[in-house]
Chain A
Amino acid sequence: MSTDTLATAPPTPGRRRRYSQLSKSDKVWLSLMVGIPTVLHVVFVWLPALATIVLSFAEWDGIKLGTWQLVGFRNYWTIFTVLEDKLFPALFNNFVLLVFLSLCSAVGMLFAYLLDKGVRGTAIYQSVFYMPVVLSLAVVGFIWKSVMFSQAQGLFNLGRDKPIDFVGNAEKIFTIHLPFLDNPVGLSKNFAALLIAMAWRHIGYVMVLYLAGLKSVDSSLREAASIDGCNEWQSFRRVVFPVMKPINVVVLVITVIEALRAFDIIVALKQPVGTSVMGVLVKNNLVGEGGGHVGVGSAYGVVLLLLCLGFIVWYLVNHYRENEL
């Protein structure tokens, strides 16, 4: 590309360089730069997601290619009727997790707000609260199982005559009778115990995001609010919180996706009875003992996918409307 062609090109201030002004080899390079990652991502992420949708309408043992056949909505009928005692408790657990993690997000926001008050040693507090986030949920599960929940020595069993089996106890704390189900769904004691372990990790994550968000809030906004006579809660509720909208959206997405994706801690602890979630149901129907139900497993997967997609679409619309590219 010579300077002449650039000089004669109409000046388009604020516009990005047009693709057509590039040399041939540059165009080839750019196509490769876009093409290779895109193909990789589409082939190994989006095509499998679509294939799962197709497989959810099929019956297949997953062993021999070509033995699968389409069966229409039969797998969905199966999971919503015959297997309702598997599907709905898992969905309910995911729902409880979502509500619980949302509360944890609020706590994380509170921590961030307090640390942003010019507390001395903010960095130390921040490191402490954030530390669990770098651990895998599997390791979090093991640490809590051996140190906090252990029947023999767990700190939660400290001073109890009859130690509680936190990980094994599938007794329900409360149950809800849904009109379309024969058996009630509810929160089991061991799932509640796992929730506490997950909170330990989630709160620090959210706190760090909000700390960054709070730092970016223009201090003159708070000044204005306090001059106008807002008390602390009003200035947070009406000024700081709305200004942090981008962070709020990210935290919401993280919370929802984490709640729907939950898997590691439950499988690492050998899937105690009563702690089933959607991710575990999908996996159990596909591999390992009881696996080989590709159609049913995929149907569970599609239910999970639809729940996620709702939020993903909402998030993307939100993000790209405000940050037009």
Chain B
Amino acid sequence: MSGQLTIVQTKPGYSKGLRVLLYAFLTTMAVMWLVPIGGAIYSSFRPYQETQTKGIFSWPDSLSFSNYRDAFTQGNMGKTFFNTAFIVVPSIVLILLMSSVMAFAVSRFSFRFNVALLLLFTAGNLLPAQVLFQPLFQFFKWMPWPNFLSDTDTGSLLGTKIAVIIVHVAFQTGFCTFVLSNYMKTIPKELNEAALVDGASVPRTFFQIILPLCRPALAALATLEFTWLYNDFFWAVVLLNKGDERPITSSIANLGGAFFTNDNLVAAASMIVAMPTLIVYLILQKQFISGLTLGASKG
């Protein structure tokens, strides 16, 4: 068998006809994929009366931001965006901190319960949220919490953003520990040993040697967790009962009424909510994909 033949065979070459077919199929699919978002963007700039009579596939008589303005004010989106930031930012910081120390300890030192702990974390992350929520709801309800530390007046943790943060951190730490411990196993352990020989303490080894090496994984996880927490619907709905205390994603579900009869207003609201994750995705696409595949490729 000649060497040249094998090089030619690396990617099976298609005949020209098949290639055209392949591109035609993929392009058709891609266009179909863009239709819902494209349609939402297009109709969100147009008055409802117009698209209702002429349909979405029509030349626009007028384009304006008025749907966006209405959606923003009716949905009180300034406030709800702030709520989201208040929940998502501290959650991500805590999740990454918790999971990286945990992953460091279980992946670089051997304990008796290493495997059991990782099993527990991985399995915990796969549990459905609905199964956990009633006991957590009760726990937060009976957990006294001073009103001056929260934005509710219930005197308990229920209804505070802190409750949502706690749940996110506890739940997501499972997934991130799994990913980070897989990642840390690829770092040569001689690095640890050298650090210990040189007299570095465990926290120092962690912060100055291992953690900096995990930067790609941490960046990937941060982007991934950002969308997951930003998109959280369930916990915000069940733990925060007042509409305008809720983060943006769950608050649009709460608008109801007049909002729902105007499809273009719904489209505008959807686009406002989708914007941050879409922007983050378009800018940090690489991190996204690597975050997902980090979790997957190692099993």
Using a CB–CB cutoff of 8 Å, the interface residues on chain A facing chain B are 1, 3, 6, 15-19, 22-23, 25-26, 29-30, 33-34, 36-38, 40-49, 51-52, 55, 62, 65, 111, 114-115, 117-119, 124-132, 134-139, 142-148, 150, 152-155, 158, 200, 204-205, 208-209, 212-213, 216, 219, 222-223, 226-227, 232, 246-247, 249-251, 253, 257, 260-261, 263-264, 267-268, 270, 278-279, 282-283, 286-287, 294, 297-298, 301-302, 304-305, 308, 311-313, 315-316, 318-320, 322-323, 325
Contact = CB atoms under 8 A, between A and B. Distances in A.
Interface string B232-246: 111001100000000
B297 A16 contact: no
Contact of B126 (A33, A130, A308): A308
Given A135-B231, A155-B35, A16 B189 contact: yes
Given A34-B102, A45-B171, A143-B267, A158 B299 contact: no
B127 A132 contact: no
B147 interface: no
21 contacts: A17-B196, A18-B110, A34-B111, A51-B134, A52-B131, A136-B233, A136-B277, A137-B231, A142-B266, A143-B267, A146-B266, A152-B52, A155-B56, A216-B297, A219-B10, A226-B9, A227-B5, A261-B130, A282-B130, A312-B127, A318-B299
Interface in B3-23: 5-6, 9-12, 14, 22-23
A34 B133 contact: no
Main secondary structure of the interface of A (DSSP, over half): helix
Given A42-B120, A200-B33, A315-B126, 19 more contacts: A1-B197, A16-B108, A16-B110, A29-B203, A33-B104, A38-B102, A46-B124, A139-B270, A146-B266, A147-B263, A152-B51, A158-B57, A205-B292, A209-B293, A227-B1, A250-B299, A257-B128, A301-B131, A323-B299
A155 B51 CA distance: 11
A137 B274 CA distance: 11
Contact of B131 (A25, A115, A305, A315): A305
Q: Which of A142, A200, A297, A318 has the most CB of B within 10 A?
A: A142
B51 A153 contact: yes
Contacts of B40: 143, 146-147
Q: Which of B51, B130, B131, B256 has the most CB of A within 10 A?
A: B131
A301 B267 CA distance: 34
Contact of A257 (B51, B126, B296): B126
Contacts, number: 340
Q: Which of B40, B119, B134, B264 has the most CB of A within 10 A?
A: B134
B63 interface: no
A319 to B, nearest CB: 5
A212 B297 contact: yes
Contacts of A222: 9-10, 12
B52 A246 contact: no
B122 interface: yes
B101 A37 contact: yes
Contacts of B281: 130-131, 134
Contact of B296 (A30, A134, A223, A247): A247
A127 B281 CA distance: 9
Interface string B122-150: 11101111111111111100100000000
Contacts of B136: 44, 48
A137 B233 contact: yes
Contacts of A18: 110
B169 A40 contact: yes
A19 B9 contact: no
Nearest to B265: A146
Main secondary structure of the interface of B (DSSP, over half): helix
B170 A40 contact: yes
Given A119-B26, A227-B1, A131 B133 contact: no
Contact of A209 (B9, B133, B296): B296
Interface residues of B, number: 117
B98 to A, nearest CB: 4
Contact of A51 (B55, B135, B285): B135
B183 interface: no
A33 B101 contact: yes
Contacts of B105: 30, 33-34
Nearest to B124: A45
Contacts of A37: 98-99, 101-102, 173, 177
Interface stretch (B85-93, B213-221, B247-255): B247-255
Contacts of A135: 231, 274, 277-278
A282 B196 contact: no
Nearest to B51: A153
B36 A41 contact: no
A44 B167 contact: yes
B30 interface: yes
A224 B120 CA distance: 41
Contacts of B6: 223, 227
Contact of B11 (A46, A117, A124): A117
B117 interface: yes
Contact of B98 (A19, A40, A62): A40
